[in-house]
Amino acid sequence: MSVAAFDLSGRLALVTGSTRGIGRTLAEGLSAAGATVVVHGRSLEQATAEAAAITAATGTPALATAFDVTDTAQIDTALTALEAEHGALDVLVNNAGIQRRAPLTEFTDEDWDDLVATNLSSAFKCARRAAAGMIARGSGRIINIGSVQSQLARPSIAAYSATKGGIVMLTKGLTADLAPHGVQVNALAPGYFATELTAALVADEEFSAWVAGRTPAGRWGATADLVGPLVFLASDAAAFVNGQTLYVDGGMTAVI
């Protein structure tokens, strides 16, 4: 196998929630590996601005789209438009996600519903829509962004953990449906990374130090740490990797 197996030139890749944070870094990483990346968020203006920045950084033109990942009709409209102009997606990265924290007895139905809709149902809905074109072509990659919280629980985030546990089994279930059609589904599960989603944790010095101490690698993740593993999962190098969750967490889930 040569390094050419990692080349994504000519592939069309959509990263949901790539206007900032982990998704933004992953989108630029796929673009640097040669893919035509589609930057996504709820604001088209923001997605367009980030696509322009990625184009400038990598020299590979990036595209932009906007839709709410919880809304089946919006997903369908956006993917129909993308397919009409650029053909079916080669790679879908289900990354968009949210966090809500509250003591269990104060955790509201609305927060539970928002978490399930944004972190779990969204991945199912986007995968279902993208799969149609991938099945027709007989190839494609779907990569779901999970979390160490699918293995390790913490107080006040039971709903988030449940959605990320769901991602692990969704990844296996989609594999059962799609592997026979040449479509590979895997998950990438980050440890702790400093983004807007974790801003409150980063600001909490005690917790922040606990994360570094609890991580065998001795530090928080940098979003760039996720690029190599994602490019691998999206590339021909991962041709026989199906239904797996790859934890990129500095060893957090490996060691107690």
The alpha helices in the chain, defined as continuous H runs, are 21-32, 44-58, 72-86, 109-115, 122-137, 158-178, 199-203, 205-214, 227-234
Please tell me the distance from the alpha carbon of residue 20 to that of residue 39, in angstroms, as a whole number.
10
Of 3-11, 62-70, 83-91, 168-176, the segment contacting ligand NDP by CB under 6 A is 62-70
Binding mask 204-233 for ligand NDP (x = CB under 6 A): ------------------------------
Query: Nearer to ligand NDP by C-beta: 140 or 190?
Result: 190
Part of the chain binding ligand NDP (CB under 6 A), chosen from 1-9, 41-49, 51-59, 131-139: 41-49
3-state secondary structure of 111: helix
CB 25 to ligand NDP: min, Å = 8
Angle at 64 (CA atoms; ends 78, 38), nearest 5 degrees:
85
Question: What is the CB neighbour count within 10 angstroms for residue 236?
Answer: 13
Annotation says 160 is catalytic: yes
Closest Cα partner for 213 from 251, 246, 160?
Answer: 251
Q: Which of 151, 198, 215, 245 binds ligand NDP (CB under 6 A)?
A: 198
Site string for ligand NDP, 95-114 (x = CB under 6 A): xxxx----------------
Burial of 68 by CB count in 10 Å (0-12 exposed, 13-18 middle, 19+ buried)?
A: middle
The residues assigned a catalytic role are 160
Binding site for ligand NDP (CB under 6 A): 17-23, 41-43, 46, 68-70, 95-98, 118-119, 145, 147, 190, 192-193, 195-198
